[in-house]
Amino acid sequence: ANSMLAFIDQQLASLGIRLDESEQALHEFRIKTGLQRLSSEGQSLVDTAVDLENKRAELNLRLERIDAFLNEFKWKGDNFTGVSELPGVDEYINQLFTLRASRTDLLRRYTAAHPEVIEVDEQINQVRGKIYSTADLAKSRIAQQLADIDVSVGKSTQRLAQVPEEELELVRLTRANEVNAQLYSYLLQQRYPQMVWLCPDCNKQYSGIPEFHVVYTFENTLNLENPAVFVQFLLFEMLAQRLCGI
């Protein structure tokens, strides 16, 4: 969770700069040209670009979570949050915990060199290997999905040729700005579950607030377009910084 939070913060810092620049460029262009609204074709191009970039951001975060898990798993890490959503992994995790419980029970009677303990150790390694292979395969699939998105982005860019020349720059600037805004909002929402993981005491203090009553998983997001929720989110961040240094 710590590495994921660092990754998200790094992306937010970069996106924040790009968002400021794209907002300023769009504002100046509108003042200079008087063009304010897009045609239906232009808006369609913007919507497509935003949708594709949202999917790309989601996949990149999933990829980062899997990478973080694999790096920790090599050193016997037990945080399976980054891969628990992968098909079949929950069953492997249950098997792993059952085998570990059996091993603990056996060690009450035997040493680690006893054949029964060695057999359980081999089974544990086999299950760990299955978890690792499943996560590694998921990485390959995500890489393919990202490649498919690149192809779709290329096709969307080719459609710019169908936009009237006088509107072309407005489409480009609007597309860049809306993509940056949507990605920034998405990453900001994804930051909250990382803070909950690192600072559970903060979440307990917010248990009486409806928007924070649920302990969020990676799939949960906050409706940051709601001003009340956004303010409470900022308060949670301040609390996390004070209590946990996040």
**77: its two tokens:** 């890490």
User: SS3 breakdown of the chain: % helix, strand, coil, rounded to 5?
Assistant: 80, 0, 20
Predicted local distance difference test score (pLDDT) of residue 154: 92
Tokens of 84: 């628990």
pTM: 0.69
Phi-psi region of 34 (alpha: psi -120 to 50; beta: other; left: phi over 0): left
* pLDDT reported for residue 65: 87
Q: Say what the pLDDT of residue 239 is.
A: 47
pLDDT of residue 237: 55
Question: Which regions of the chain are under pLDDT 70?
Answer: 1-2, 75, 192-246
Q: Are 107 and 55 in contact (CB under 8 A)?
A: no
State the pLDDT at residue 214.
36
pLDDT at 85: 83
pLDDT for residue 51? 93
pLDDT at position 6: 80
Residue 177, classified by CB atoms within 10 Å of its CB into exposed (0-12), middle (13-18) or buried (19+), is buried
**How far apart are alpha carbons 93 and 133 in whole angstroms?**
13
Q: Please, which contacts does 75-78 make with residues 24 or more away whose CB atoms are closer than 8 Å?
A: none
CA dihedral (114, 116, 119, 123) positive or negative: negative
**Torsional sign, CA 187, 188, 190, 195:** positive
The Cα–Cα gap between 194 and 56 comes to: 20
- pLDDT for position 246: 47
